[in-house]
Chains A and B, each alone.
Chain A
């Protein structure tokens, strides 16, 4: 691995912090953290390792990311829950032109009004971050969850 400027690592960590905050509390802004042509995928570890192409959730372009938000907020029927992301162990895996490849670990919890909190998903991000604009943006985000058996549904993004 090449040496990475500490300020870039710090910027990327701050970007992940922002991502977690937006997912948990400002989901309407979630698509804004991606480039217009970004791809977003949630994939089980099982499919990922067996090179089976089925995602659990996938969006191709910011329009589809916005449609997901519309479904979460308007069309899907579900018991209200609070989501919390913990994102850590951020590592830069490569740099090319104005993109940075990164991995990070995530743990996402969900809490209900009357039944307490549980782990929704634990896994790793495999991302490509665009550094060309004034703000960092995800060009590609793949969320691989390790426990293949999902408790209920993954309604909000990981």
Chain B
């Protein structure tokens, strides 16, 4: 590609074909989601008992995760080894074994083929050949790992441990997942008509929040004059941005730049009744874990946002898992549920993001030769002590180019 120059490294530009080109999309599936990555698939709290299962996806490929008798977790493709039926059509459930409805091939909770009706035929007729070996016809299994209740799966063999994979971002991951038992409060599922990278990039662009989100800035949840910083793992593939909410009005300089700031008062102020619950001064910590999740802590609102691609460069499904901790009292649970109004399909903040990423798809799609400019904060790709930067976007595109060979 011819983008970049002596002045600007290639990752300070975004070539627009990466949002729409089907061949780039296919390469992403192979190299990113099915390559050397740990993909988030679920929480242990979602499948606590023997036989519990949940259906999700790794990139385009539907998978099932299940809890076996010994407490271990299996992750395998939702594709019968016989004829390819997506045999698991429930989003979750409990079963002793998983059976395909078509010819009733049956699998155990690790994905091993354990039952085939008419394997020996009927009254001496039919049946599978004597040398047919069920062990060779298991479901396609993925590698599985967990960290403090969070389950990851990978198509790659010999993946590094999740702790090494998360690298320098591990303390931020552990801040949210500190080993306490989690309680799932519910799910949101959205179809968003844009390339999957745009929603990851949205989080890796901390400076938009102080401009786009009138609600956030008007009620002081995120402003340019609040102390904030961005940190990365050594590859720049994972990232965390954090802000500290101040109990004072925006400075005159900040107000001048944030023209969208409004003098608004909530008539139902209970919405923003938040308390400090994590160590440290940060009140807002947003993370992206390569390749498929965003971790959200906006005050007491906690969520995992999972990207599920669906064979279409121009759209993806966005699955949110909103959670708290098993030790939360009722007041804390109610607080989290009220704050949920900020996020999701009706989020007072998220609505804005959903709209602008869809408009970005509309704007970039017809112009595959054009490119975006990401120079805010200079040309850096490393840790910074402020959030008026596109460094996290540059770091993302630097690593993305490496993995994709672009």
Contacts and interface: CB of A to CB of B under 8 A. Distances in A.
Contacts of A66: 267-268
A121 B192 CA distance: 15
Contacts of A13: none
Contacts of A71: 215, 348
B350 A75 contact: no
B351 A53 contact: no
A120 to B, nearest CB: 10
A67 B218 CA distance: 13
Contacts of A6: none
Interface residues of A, number: 37
B50 interface: no
A77 B214 contact: yes
Interface in B334-390: 337-338, 340-341, 344-348, 350-352, 354-356, 358-359
Given A53-B333, A58-B338, A77-B356, A148 B189 contact: yes
Nearest to B317: A149
B191 interface: yes
Interface in A54-76: 54-67, 70-71, 74-76
Nearest to A47: B186
Nearest to B184: A52
B270 interface: yes
A147 B264 CA distance: 35
Contact of B348 (A42, A54, A75): A75
B23 interface: no
A152 B193 contact: yes
B266 A153 contact: no
Interface string B178-218: 00000011111111110000000000000000001011001
A63 B266 contact: yes
Contacts of A55: 186, 337, 340
Contact of A52 (B186, B270, B352): B186
Contacts of B95: none
Interface in B266-290: 266-271
Nearest to A150: B345
A64 B268 CA distance: 5
B190 A150 contact: yes
Contact of A54 (B268, B317, B340): B340
B352 A54 contact: no
A46 interface: yes
B268 A152 contact: no
A70 B322 CA distance: 25
A75 B268 contact: no
A59 B338 CA distance: 8
A155 B338 contact: no
A61 B268 contact: yes
A60 B270 contact: yes
Given A74-B262, A153-B351, A153-B354, A52 B187 contact: yes
A153 B345 contact: yes
B130 to A, nearest CB: 46
A75 B215 contact: yes
Contacts of A56: 188, 344-346
B266 A67 contact: yes
Interface string A42-54: 1010110010111
Contacts of A150: 188-191, 345
Nearest to A148: B189
A81 B189 CA distance: 21
B2 interface: no
7 contacts: A47-B187, A56-B188, A57-B346, A60-B268, A74-B264, A75-B215, A77-B356
Interface of B: 91, 184-193, 212, 214-215, 218, 262, 264, 266-271, 317, 322, 333, 337-338, 340-341, 344-348, 350-352, 354-356, 358-359
Closest 10 interchain pairs by CB?
A54-B186, A64-B268, A63-B267, A63-B268, A52-B186, A57-B346, A75-B214, A150-B345, A47-B186, A77-B352
